[in-house]
Structure 1
């Protein structure tokens, strides 16, 4: 229902991204939109949680009205290294 609401403009895309990604993260799966991040003990910084099919993440994000993953990471002081997701 939320997916349809976002498609029709009734809900903001970030609601969908946060819900889907948080569920995937808690299931131990890779996220879809890259909205979730967690602290990395090795670097002491917050890294974007793994993203499935990372090469097309910006297409998915833009489809629902979100900024690019790079812009999102920079705005929130998160580390995003595409090589970590491949």
Structure 2
């Protein structure tokens, strides 16, 4: 990537282009932050899908502890009740900056499935929408931070 930039469709074709995107998308934050600008540039040249840029942006924001934009990221937390010590895993859609307009924003980047349907496909109840502050409170109920991403 240092020599050629992001391996877009013209260089490697759709399948390998998407494979590279998946590797970066499912990496840790420093890797995503390093390569995200290359992916944005490739998108401007038509070399990577806009929805992939949106999904990576959301993942990066989630890892930074910020609200996502397009509602593409689900997460989970292991909650330990301080009184009963009972463990419970809670899955949720990571907090969204503008939930009232999220489906419009999703469509604008080529994601046709509404966030409510997307959540349901992952067996997440979207009727409970968490804020960043609520997520922070969930983290404080744990001895060790625990996160699961989708």
TM range (shorter): 0.7 to 0.9
Structure 2 unmatched runs, 5+? 1-38, 80-87, 132-150
Work out whether 1:49 is the aligned partner of 2:86: no
State the 4+ residue runs in structure 1 displaced beyond 4 angstroms: none
Q: 1:31 aligns with which of 56, 63, 68?
A: 68
Aligned to 2:110: 65
* Aligned CA-pair RMSD: 2.6
Structure showing greater radius of gyration is 2
Alignment coverage as a number of residue pairs: 84
Pairwise CA distance, 1:20 = 0.4
Choose between structure 1 and 2 for higher RCO, CA contacts under 8 A separated by at least 6 residues.
1
Residue aligned with 2:65, SS: coil
Give 3-state SS (helix, strand or coil) of 1:84's partner. coil
Q: Which runs of 5+ in 1 are unaligned?
A: none
